[in-house]
Structure 1
Amino acid sequence: MLLQEGLQVGFVPLRWLDLVDVAITAVLVYQGYRLIRGTIAVQVAVALLGLYAVNEVVRAVGLTTLSTIFGAVGDVFVLAVLILFAPEIRQALFLLGRNPIVRRLVTQPPRQKITDEVIGAIQEMSRDRVGSLIAFARSTGLRNYIESGTQIHADVERDLLTAIFFPNSPLHDGAVIVQGQKVEAARCILPVSDARSLDPHLGLRHRAAVGLTERTDAFVIVTSEETGKISVAENGRLDVGLSLAEVENRLLDAFSPDRREAAPGGTPEEAPPPPADATT
């Protein structure tokens, strides 16, 4: 086999498989460093590496008592790493879930009827300046956020969405989460983004939309109760002031990676940068 063959570096035989192994390891280490760079996890990683180095020195010297202590610590080392690096591990899994290949394998496109019902509701709420926040689950499950709200598990219908976000409705204050073919819950609590790149005038709805897409691969649509403008949040980015055609194309594209429908009268345009409008 080609991978089993190799070359001779001095007196050390080097297989092509070894080169592939080193290259993959280097990429994983680099990506891990990029993930924790600028966080407290860097200091934790350095401390753990220091303890590992001390442990190796103790074992080499033959200090029995210290070796026993480090051996006891080593038994729970993997568990400690999982606990200490839980946020970074979770972020890595979210990034993996956003990968187009993974998304293609686990994501099912919404039915056209669901898209039509959602766009109809968005059009009505935008026209009447009703604030709304609708999150669509993709490959990352949103169970924790669904459980924070009121369970509904109903079909996605225009009248249901507009009724939920009607200002006097007890369910209007929060997010609606659509998972699969159902409206799973309303009045859900979403994480709020603290990204400094966002317009400081943006309200909690828009920041919650961005916050959810920073932590998951959800697709979120927002309507502003002050301006009626429609926004879309995806992959930690917020695009404000989109047309209904653009929102529909973005929604279809989010669940059908191979589908690129042009808006009526032209092709989908690049999303414009967020304008400085205040929303709630």
Structure 2
Amino acid sequence: MREVFEIVQNIGFKDLIDIGIVAYVFYKIYMLLKETRAKQLVKGIVVLLVVTQLSEWFQLHVMNWILINTMTVGLIALLIVFQPELRRALEYIGRTKLLSKSMQDLEYHELENIVNEMMESISSLSRQKIGALIVIEKDTGLSEIAESGTILDANISRGLLINIFMPNTPLHDGAIIIRNNKILAAACFLPLSDNPSLSKDLGTRHRAGVGISEKSDAFVVMVSEETGAISVAQHGKLSRFLDTKTLKTRIVNTMKPERTKKSWRFFKLKWRQNHENDESDAK
């Protein structure tokens, strides 16, 4: 107890900074591993370390020799097993504000037009119960995913988005990739999530949306062809049954640059008024 008191007494300001940095790094590592296969693998490694130490204490020489040699070559095995998680961690570091460039700056009127076109198309697809999968690229590049589909490099428009996802059309099966203010590609194949906590009721479209959000910082919008329900995925988290107001807010928060934040309140009020007027005309 006295030794602990002396250690605490000798802790200086630099030591506190050092401890804080290490704690922050371990917290970020935990958040990266949370709800992934790596979390279970880490538990297995901890068990092996404990068993190795116990075998040394109880002088179980054969078991201890096997475990020590296993741990010696285990570093290479860890690099192979944790390859997806290591890639995800490096991408996360690369997305930090100090090292990454921001999204292409959109003018206020450009953002307004893009969001309106996207919202009208998504609302229409939802009403008609037409399945859709829209991936909005952020800092992590999705060129490899785009190359798996058909490159369009087209302006975002309600008609084009609806026509892409219409059943029995050449590009309806797959996802579209939106880069900045353009539809980069359509009919793209996305990696499926193998998260065991996802509902068994989810189909391939939703698992693909969650899958790409696990491997990048993309924002993904999904429309169910069975129910017309709107869902979004980001950072591996799935949010289901969103209304248009909530979806609009999340899309704008994803796409808007810093200097449009002050004017966004006016845009939100204007969009709501136009939406209410359209509903009144429809009635």
Could you state the TM-score of these two structures normalised by the residue count of structure 2? 0.66
Q: Match for residue 208 of structure 1?
A: 208
Q: Match for residue 62 of structure 2?
A: none
> How many angstroms apart in 1 are the aligned matches of 2:257 and 2:234?
14
| Higher normalized strand content (fraction of residues) | 1
Paired-residue identity, %: 39
* Residues 45 and 82 of structure 1, relative CA distance in 2, 3 Å threshold: farther
- 1:46 deviates by 11
Q: Match for residue 155 of structure 1?
A: 155
* Residues 154 and 203 of structure 1, relative CA distance in 2, 3 Å threshold: same
Q: Match for residue 245 of structure 1?
A: 245
Do 1:96 and 1:102's aligned partners in 2 also have CA atoms closer than 8 Å?
no
> How many angstroms apart in 1 are the aligned matches of 2:86 and 2:79?
8
* Residues 97 and 104 of structure 1, relative CA distance in 2, 3 Å threshold: closer
- 1:237 deviates by 1.9
> How many angstroms apart in 2 are the aligned matches of 1:125 and 1:30?
40
Cα distance per residue 1:167-200 (max 9 Å; x no partner): 0111100000001111010111111112222221
- 1:164 deviates by 0.8
Q: Match for residue 21 of structure 1?
A: 18
Give the counterpart of 1:90 among 79, 87, 90: 87
> How many angstroms apart in 2 are the aligned matches of 1:44 and 1:92?
19
Cα distance per residue 1:107-160 (max 9 Å; x no partner): 346521111111111122112111110110011111111111111111111111
> How many angstroms apart in 1 are the aligned matches of 2:195 and 2:188?
21
Cα distance per residue 1:235-256 (max 9 Å; x no partner): 2222222222221111112234
Q: Match for residue 52 of structure 2?
A: none
Q: Match for residue 167 of structure 1?
A: 167
Give the counterpart of 1:107 among 82, 103, 113: 103
> How many angstroms apart in 2 are the aligned matches of 1:245 and 1:201?
25
Aligned residues: 232
Could you state the TM-score of these two structures normalised by the residue count of structure 1? 0.67
> How many angstroms apart in 1 are the aligned matches of 2:238 and 2:28?
25
> How many angstroms apart in 1 are the aligned matches of 2:235 and 2:252?
16
More displaced stretch, 219-228 vs 238-247: 238-247
- Structure 1: gaps of 5 or more residues: 1-8, 48-76, 266-280
- Structure 2: gaps of 5 or more residues: 1-5, 49-74, 274-283
Do 1:192 and 1:208's aligned partners in 2 also have CA atoms closer than 8 Å?
yes
> How many angstroms apart in 1 are the aligned matches of 2:203 and 2:29?
33
Do 2:123 and 2:244's aligned partners in 1 also have CA atoms closer than 8 Å?
yes
> How many angstroms apart in 1 are the aligned matches of 2:30 and 2:249?
36
